[in-house]
Structures are given as C-alpha cells and as structure tokens.
C-alpha cells in the first residue's frame, strides 16, 4: 500500500515515483527492510493492533498471519481521513470480524465530524477494555505515522502508567513500526 505524499506542490520522492512516475509494466529495483522489533509474538496471546494511514499494511499482514494460525483474539483500532473515501480493506476486515477471527474493530476518521477523531481517542474511550486485554497478556502492535505514535504513547501512559508501558516494551509486548 502506498499513500501519495505531497509536500507543497511536490510529490514525495518514493510515493511520487510509485504513484505517478512509473509507466504500466515498468519495473524498479527495490528491497524490503525487515523490522526485527515488529514481528509477531510467538506465543498464542491476545493482540491489539493500532495504526493509521498506510500503517494498515503492516497490521493487515499480522492479522492475516494470526488468522492463518487460528489465533482469533484480535482487536484492531485504525484511523483514516474520511469515511466517504478511506475504507481500505473493509471487505476483508468485516469478513474476518463476521467469522469471529477479529474480536473488535474500531475505525475513526479524522476529517469527519465525530467525537472520536483519532485512534488515541478510541483508546481513552475504551480504557477499561484495553486494560483488561493487557491484563490478559495482550501484545500491542503499533504501525503508522510518528505523529500518531506520540499520541498513542501519551494515551497509553494515561491509561496504564509509564512503568507498565516500559515493562511491556521490555517484555516485547509493545511493538512499533512507525515512520
């Protein structure tokens, strides 16, 4: 998944190339970098997936793997811009939820008129449920923008406290892939 980045009147270097610079059938040389700190936890345990924008790509891969491994205690909290246009992967997500392969999905749209605009708003609203999942051993996966990640970290400290967040990080139960 590639989101076109625009800075002023200029397209982003990578996203501009991938969304407008290449002709159909043209190829490029590229490589995938592995983020060792963002792999799935090997033990079967609940998982909370939090992200925004193109971060859905990393979260979706993890969700798909957990579903293939018959691990269905999954909670997705995901933010986009507008509900009218930004329903990426909705069919898959709704099917997985209908089949009981994802327990809960919370989607928010920052440019819609709603009391919940950002993923951290969802965390705060569902703080008790979030604490319960963490008490049950949930691993937290965060994927998306650096701005969103800071808001999530602030909300997590409010909900769980800095000491518990640090313990989750140290145990490898809070994993991030942010950019």
CA trace torsion 64, 66, 68, 70 (10° rounding): -140
| Category of 103 on φ-ψ map: left (φ > 0), alpha (ψ -120 to 50) or beta | alpha
Q: Does domain 36-178 have CATH number 3.40.50.80?
A: yes
Give the tens place of pLDDT for each residue, 36-88.
888 998 889 999 999 998 788 889 999 999 999 999 999 999 988 766 666 67
Please give the angle made by the CA atoms of 65, 14 and 4, to the nearest 5 degrees.
80
Give the tens place of pLDDT for each residue, 79-138.
887 666 666 778 888 999 999 999 999 988 776 776 668 899 999 999 999 999 999 999
Q: Domain-by-domain residue ranges, the chain? A: 1-31, 36-178
Q: Are 29 and 68 in contact (CB under 8 A)?
A: no
Single pTM value for the model: 0.86
Q: Is the pLDDT of residue 172 over 70?
A: yes
Q: How far apart are CA 7 and CA 52, in angstroms?
A: 19
Place of tokens 């008790």: 128
């Amino acid at each position: 998944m590639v989101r076109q980045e625009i800075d002023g009147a200029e397209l982003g270097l990578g996203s501009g190339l991938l969304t407008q610079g290449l002709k159909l059938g043209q190829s490029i040389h590229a490589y995938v970098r592995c983020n060792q700190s963002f792999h799935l936890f090997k033990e079967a345990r609940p998982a909370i997936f939090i992200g925004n924008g193109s971060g859905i790509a990393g979260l979706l891969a993890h969700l798909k793997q957990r579903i293939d491994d018959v691990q269905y205690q999954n909670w997705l909290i995901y933010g986009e811009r507008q509900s009218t246009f930004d329903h990426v992967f909705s069919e898959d997500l709704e099917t997985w939820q209908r089949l009981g392969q994802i327990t809960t999905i919370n989607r928010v749209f920052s440019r819609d008129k709603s009391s919940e605009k950002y993923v951290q708003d969802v965390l705060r609203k569902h703080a008790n449920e979030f604490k319960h999942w963490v008490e049950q051993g949930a691993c937290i996966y965060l994927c998306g923008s650096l701005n969103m990640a800071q808001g999530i970290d602030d909300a997590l400290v409010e909900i769980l406290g800095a000491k518990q967040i640090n313990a989750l990080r140290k145990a490898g139960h809070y994993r991030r892939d942010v950019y």
